Structure 1
Amino acid sequence: MDYFYEHYVTLILTAIYVGGCLYIGWYFKKKASEGVEGFYVAKREIPGWVISLAFFSTSASTNTYIGQAGKSFELGLSWAWMGFIWTFFCVISWQLLGPKMRFQTARLKSFTIPDYFHLRYKSSLAQTIRVLSAVIILFATLWYMVGIAKGCAHVLTSVLDIPYEYGSFAIIAVTCAYTIWGGMYSVLWTDAIQGIIMFGVAILMLAIPFMYVGGVDNLFEVVSNTDHLSKAGVPINSGLVTFGELVSFLYILGIGLSVGMKQISEPKNLIRFYSVNNTKSMRFAMIWTPVFLGISLVCVMGLGALVHGMATPEEANYLINHTDEVIGFMLDKFDNKLVSGICVAGLFAAGMSSLASVIIIIGTAFVKDIWHVAKPMQESKIIPRTKWFMAIYCLFVFLLTLYPIAGIVELTAFAGAVFAASFFPAIFGGLYLKWGTDMGALASMVVGMLTNIVWRFVFRFNYESLKDVHEIIPAFLLSMLTYVVVSRLSKARKPDKAHLDHVFGK
């Protein structure tokens, strides 16, 4: 009874939010089960405002609201530049990729990113590309999902005293349930609701340090002259507000590119373009999605630096080495039941919006782009098998969440780097370059994947001069160069004119 009295507001608000997500999944259960197109891409009938909010909410996940926000506790307000990089790539995604991807995927009757490669490049080798890209999805999203679940679990531990393992299981299980029930319908409609909640929570969380300390002037006075120690054990002083003093711009650029470029390459973002119902809706989303994302990122990216104004030196010494726990600490220290309840619901929304998106992506990638390619099955079996694989994969993610190998920022940045270097050249080439070939796409995927792994585990952390050079930089450059060079050298392999005319709309 004492526990319930202390946390009842947060528990009730969280229960209402979770119940709403489960209801939406159940509501769309029948509609999503009517066919593969319904379960995978919601029959391409979703209005623009839903797609816009869904894209925003899945782009700004737990990685943003907990991992990235907390990271600025260590690296200062310089980290807020990440928000500008992300917003730039959001604009690029909607202006450069969105309209053409919606047009081409509808013409080709594509339901997944891997089958887009197969249908666009149209060859026996393109089938290999489809399977390889599905394997990359299964590999990269694993670390992304672990990072998201880890962040939500830490918040539940800090605010509700729920053991870490119970919190991670809850976030994964609830999201898995409504995604399995309603497919892409439930993913997009819950994401839209989650986007509304997340937008408001971003503004609310920014206000907390100012309210706690007593105003803008007081907070910036404390933050600008803090006596807290940096991770290296030296006084921070004015480092929190001085650009580049606590972190190099090269590191900011690397992480910003790797996470920001997911918006132009990651399947969970790109698949939204498949479901837009018409051109008018696309135009609405092109304008408003960057607005939703940009304002939210401005609010949360530098939040951790401001939390120094709420922490004692002893608390700061702990948090500087555990930045994934900063936001949970902030809510616990502020100690307002209503604010905590609203924010926890918002942080749940941030995690669940991205988890749902990747859960359905990994299910479709394995069943339709690996299993179905290797051993074709009746369409009636595709959806049930997709659901079973989603459940099994989520259980595996939960087990990995118990023993995460890195912090949220690094986990999600690595996943973003893999997607950007492996997928973007083949996607951009498919949408814009008629001379792009299957050989170029395959070679760029292999080079992008291998460069990411080799640079991270062989060079980056074994040479001091390279530690701030994120793997996305060499991997993306080499991957793009590979696509162009190999496509030019294999120009005889481009699809025939009739196919290209169909793809490009002639």
Structure 2
Amino acid sequence: MPPDRLITLLVVAGYLLALILAGAYVTRRSKGFSDYVTGGGKIPAWMLALSFMANFVSSNSFVGHAGKSFEVGLGWCVVGGFLVVACTLSFHLFAPRFAEFARTNGALTLPDFFERRFGSRPLAVFVQWIVVLTTLLYVLAVLRGTALVVASGLGLSYSAALLVVYFVTIVYCLLGGLWADVLTDVVQSVVLLGGAVLLFVAVLSASPEPSAPAPPPIRPLSVAQLVAVGLSGAVKLVADPKQVMVFYAFGDGAQARRFRHFAPLLLLLVLGCLFPVGYFARSLVPFVRDVDEVVPRLVFERGLLGAAFGPIFLVALLAASMSSLDSALLVVASCLEKHVVAALARREPSERRTRGILFLVATLVLLLSFRPLGDIVSLSTLAGALLGASLLPLLCVGLFGQPIPPRVAYVSLTLGLVGALAGKFVPLALGVRSPWLQDIFVGLLLAILPLAIHWARRPRVSASVPG
């Protein structure tokens, strides 16, 4: 084995072993279903803030978003700005309210919010299936992307890389639940931050080869396209059940407010380093077949920052992917246990059964990943559009507005799902191109429609005039 490949293997093995040890360390803290899925309100707020930031960053940020500015220029940073704004709004507006709601209502899952706020258990079950199915699509995309990174960096086959990622994720998730997820996210956030800063500095300090040809011309996106893409991503992230799980874990609104600036500022630093990388690398890798090749070529072909940076970058990609993978699996397992298995058994939710469900779900995703249902981008974007379009309007109503009848909520959820699917496939079938005809926007428009009709038809109370 070449020395550089051996070094990479040892670094990655050490990182994965650290994740397993973290899970083993915190397993004694879990003493029931509540502790397993929300940490029992005992996880420090600063750790939750770091976990929240790590969940916002994925391998798509390090490869896809970082490389996109090679093609479209620095205007692509507008999209990153939308994501930072979404993170800020989530922490300032959503986090304290969700934390207080969980404290006063004993909520443990996102469907619990719908059951308590709208007074309908069937509605919560409907939401549960939306969360489970869309999150499974997302997990399929993340697991495939993580395995591809491991296979490329370590010289393994795709199947072998899948098994490695599956084994490590299973071990530390089964052992520690949310505590293990958050503890590993703290480690991973440091790796993410270091990897992003080092990559940015390396690109700025590298010198192009004198004989290198001129890069292709920039093809900038219109303002409408940038706003549409950025807003679409922001909407999906605000409604993400993984973020709500972190908010529940704060215990109360005061804890959530203490670090409301921490996660957005760190995310601004990470994305601020990643999004312009492709633009500044145009003279370093003049020709690429796909912009997703830009960052891997910079690291593994150009050898930025020397041979030592390759393992660091690979671990950063792993951290970005696994910080999302573990929490997504925990969301699916906790929803299935509380709203399906425990309900059918007429028993209280069980930590042991939740671990078993997590194992089964992860194994199912592993088997599906050997023959993927679709590419990474299409799976993740479809999952985000379905989730954001169907849930975000009702989340906003539940947190900031007056309760609405369950039947109106049902119609809103259904139209959001139908609209997202129509926005995804109908324009392609008709050959229509528009930055505003995106799945998330069509879904949101239809989901908001029944809410607007309900408010318009609601009887108005006349103010009494003093005599």
TM over 0.5: yes
2:39 is equivalent to residue 45 of structure 1: no
Q: Secondary structure at the match of 2:139?
A: helix
Listed as ranges, the gaps of 5+ residues in structure 2 are 461-467
1:308-366 CA-to-partner distances (Å, cap 9, x unmatched) read 433253xx13x34xx2x443332211333311111111111111100011010010111
* CA pair 213-461 structure 1, distance change in 2 beyond 3 A: farther
Give the aligned partner of residue 446 of structure 2: 478
| Worse-superposed segment, 465-474 or 411-420 | 465-474
**How many angstroms apart in 1 are the aligned matches of 2:373 and 2:426?**
17
| Worse-superposed segment, 98-107 or 146-155 | 146-155
* CA pair 465-78 structure 1, distance change in 2 beyond 3 A: same
**How many angstroms apart in 1 are the aligned matches of 2:411 and 2:51?**
32
1:114-152 CA-to-partner distances (Å, cap 9, x unmatched) read 111112222xxx212111111111221122222222332
Give the aligned partner of residue 265 of structure 2: 291
Q: Alignment identity in percent? A: 24
Instruction: Give 1:17's match in structure 2, choosing from 8, 15, 18.
Output: 15
2:101 is equivalent to residue 100 of structure 1: no
**How many angstroms apart in 1 are the aligned matches of 2:252 and 2:318?**
31
**How many angstroms apart in 2 are the aligned matches of 1:63 and 1:441?**
33
2:134 is equivalent to residue 166 of structure 1: no
Letter aligned with residue 268 of structure 2: G
Give the aligned partner of residue 88 of structure 2: 91
* CA pair 395-74 structure 1, distance change in 2 beyond 3 A: farther
**How many angstroms apart in 1 are the aligned matches of 2:444 and 2:279?**
31
Instruction: Give 2:277's match in structure 1, choosing from 303, 307, 310.
Output: 303
Decide whether the 8 Å contact of 2:95 with 2:253 is kept in 1.
no
Q: Within 5 A, what are the aligned runs for 1:198-347?
A: 198-213=192-207, 227-228=214-215, 236-237=216-217, 239=218, 245-311=219-285, 313=287, 316-317=288-289, 319-320=290-291, 323=292, 325-335=293-303, 336-347=306-317
* Aligned residue pair count: 458
Give the aligned partner of residue 112 of structure 2: 115
Instruction: Give 2:177's match in structure 1, choosing from 164, 173, 183.
Output: 183
Decide whether the 8 Å contact of 2:8 with 2:311 is kept in 1.
yes
2:140 is equivalent to residue 134 of structure 1: no
Pairwise CA distance, 1:491: 8.3
Letter aligned with residue 331 of structure 2: I
Measured on the aligned residues, the alpha-carbon RMSD in Å equals 2.6
2:62 is equivalent to residue 65 of structure 1: yes
**How many angstroms apart in 1 are the aligned matches of 2:207 and 2:343?**
59
TM-score by length of 1: 0.84
2:367 is equivalent to residue 393 of structure 1: no
Instruction: Give 2:379's match in structure 1, choosing from 406, 411, 414.
Output: 411
**How many angstroms apart in 2 are the aligned matches of 1:461 and 1:308?**
35
**How many angstroms apart in 2 are the aligned matches of 1:491 and 1:408?**
48
Decide whether the 8 Å contact of 2:427 with 2:433 is kept in 1.
no
**How many angstroms apart in 2 are the aligned matches of 1:484 and 1:176?**
44
Letter aligned with residue 180 of structure 2: S
Listed as ranges, the gaps of 5+ residues in structure 1 are 229-235, 240-244, 493-506
Letter aligned with residue 162 of structure 2: S
* CA pair 37-416 structure 1, distance change in 2 beyond 3 A: same
Q: Within 5 A, what are the aligned runs for 1:325-474?
A: 325-335=293-303, 336-379=306-349, 382-460=350-428, 462-466=430-434, 469-474=437-442
| Worse-superposed segment, 9-18 or 153-162 | 153-162
Decide whether the 8 Å contact of 1:63 with 1:148 is kept in 2.
no
